[in-house]
Amino acid sequence: MEKIVIEGGHRLEGTVTVSGAKNAALPILISALLTDGWNTFHNVPDLRDTRTIKRLLGDLGAKVESSGSVVKINAGGLNNYEAPYDLVRTMRASVLVLGPLLARLGRARVSLPGGCAIGARPINLHLRGLEELGVFISLEHGYIEAHASSLKGADIYFDIVTVTGTENLMMAAVLAKGVTTLRNAAREPEVVALADALNRMGARITGVGTPVITISGVEALKPISYHVIPDRIEAGTFMVAAAVTSGNIKIVGCEPNHNRALIHKLQQAGITVEQESDGLRVVGTEAICGVDVKTLPYPGFPTDMQAQLMVLMCVANGLSVISETIFENRFIHVSELQRMGADITVSGSAAVVRGGRRLTGAPVMATDLRASASLIIAGLAAEGTTEVSRVYHIDRGYECIEKKLALLGGHLWRTQA
């Protein structure tokens, strides 16, 4: 098993380029199932999760060809409707095949994802929405068995804002008969990107980026060439890495408008974040102030940046309260950060961080994707050496993170544990 070793205490300086967004690439690659013929997707990050999706699409009968960040998919030969346990268990986003399989084949058999490290993460809202479109669903032997003779547009209300729930329903509804309305829909940039890709395929979706999305079903979709949006969470991770090391970096290829909540919080903490003609400049300071943060659906502060921001709060002056409202168990990084000297108390869904601590390097264990990113950032800020084990978590969602940070002057490398 591999680990990442970090010698802390080095300022980050220079320029870093952001990769394509994992959480946009996954549903967009899956959307190819809705078409016959070759789709070409550009700026697809090479990650464990995108490789898993390509494998799943291949298993379903699609032809998949990859070259660098370009992925071509032809689902003309779609002939299988099962997403097996082995794949779904390693990547929950596999449940996104439900919508397209039902739209194309009228049938899907998808392993029910279990709980995961950050929370129970049920998919009841995906299933209820599909039932409202006319799908019959039963749960047999750990699998969702779903079938429909045809999908019919419906008025669907989500009790909770759900990103992949909105995406799954959108992909099911594009080929349904009549009009579907999704209320309390997710507004994340990744949802907007998926709708944009679907509309280029010939779908008729309006209202994306608002809580009410309307989808008028069409007969068929055609293949497209599409460029995946930049990863706002990767960009945000670099912003915080620069901030904790009192660094001065430029991030190119990112979309600052997707990161407004984070930028606002960083500026409130005293970090300089400025738009330049060719990128975003982030300049740290010795005098970081503690700020309170509450995670919320977009355009609120992203839960996927909570762990990283917590590291900044550990080295900031004063107290900060971080409230996690999206996932019930997303403070698992806290005990690892405590091993590095952080002073954090968790009470229910809030973490109180007493800042101004000197972090010291320690062996720590990655427990999920974003927690791993926070431990690497903590290692960059800490005195001495940090060893982050179980780095397979980070490979799910960051492309060569240690190499990109090393190019910025961080002292870190990957080695066998």
What is the three-class DSSP state of 14? strand
The answer to whether residue 121 forms part of the interface with ligand EPU (CB under 6 A) is yes
Residue among 5, 6, 26, 315 that touches ligand EPU (CB under 6 A): 26
Q: Which residues of 351-380 are buried (b: 16+ CB within 10 A; e: fewer)?
A: bebbbebebbbbebbbbbbbbbbbbbbbbb
The answer to whether residue 417 forms part of the interface with ligand EPU (CB under 6 A) is no
* Least distance CB 308 / ligand EPU (angstroms): 11
Q: Count other C-beta atoms under 10 Å from residue 277's C-beta.
A: 4
Residues 175-214 contacting ligand EPU, CB under 6 A: 190
Q: Count other C-beta atoms under 10 Å from residue 134's C-beta.
A: 17
For residue 125, what is the enclosing H or E element? helix 124-132
Please identify, among the stretches 1-9, 118-126, 136-144, 148-156, the one whose residues bind ligand EPU according to the rule CB under 6 A: 118-126
Residue among 164, 180, 237, 386 that touches ligand EPU (CB under 6 A): 164
Burial zone of 331 (CB within 10 Å; 0-12 exposed, 13-18 middle, 19+ buried) = buried
Q: Count other C-beta atoms under 10 Å from residue 276's C-beta.
A: 10
The answer to whether residue 303 forms part of the interface with ligand EPU (CB under 6 A) is yes
The answer to whether residue 284 forms part of the interface with ligand EPU (CB under 6 A) is no
Q: Count other C-beta atoms under 10 Å from residue 68's C-beta.
A: 9
* Least distance CB 174 / ligand EPU (angstroms): 18
CA proximity to 215, closest of 224, 203, 223, 197: 203
Please identify, among the stretches 80-88, 123-131, 240-248, 251-259, the one whose residues bind ligand EPU according to the rule CB under 6 A: 123-131
CA proximity to 280, closest of 288, 271, 289: 271
The answer to whether residue 231 forms part of the interface with ligand EPU (CB under 6 A) is no
Q: Which amino acid makes up residue 235? A: A
Identify the active-site residue in 116, 289, 314, 400: 116
The answer to whether residue 93 forms part of the interface with ligand EPU (CB under 6 A) is yes
Please identify, among the stretches 54-62, 119-127, 235-243, 274-282, the one whose residues bind ligand EPU according to the rule CB under 6 A: 119-127
The answer to whether residue 139 forms part of the interface with ligand EPU (CB under 6 A) is no
For residue 339, what is the enclosing H or E element? helix 333-339
Q: Are strands 343-347 and 350-354 parallel, antiparallel or unpaired?
A: antiparallel
Please identify, among the stretches 114-122, 149-157, 204-212, 311-319, the one whose residues bind ligand EPU according to the rule CB under 6 A: 114-122
116 is catalytic: yes
**120/287 with CB nearer ligand EPU:** 120
Please identify, among the stretches 160-168, 202-210, 343-351, 352-360, the one whose residues bind ligand EPU according to the rule CB under 6 A: 160-168
Residue among 31, 50, 162, 245 that touches ligand EPU (CB under 6 A): 162
* Least distance CB 187 / ligand EPU (angstroms): 11
CA proximity to 123, closest of 106, 101, 105, 139: 139
Residue numbers of the site for ligand EPU (CB under 6 A)?
23, 26, 92-93, 119-126, 160, 162-165, 190, 303-304, 326-327, 369-370, 397
The catalytic residues are 116
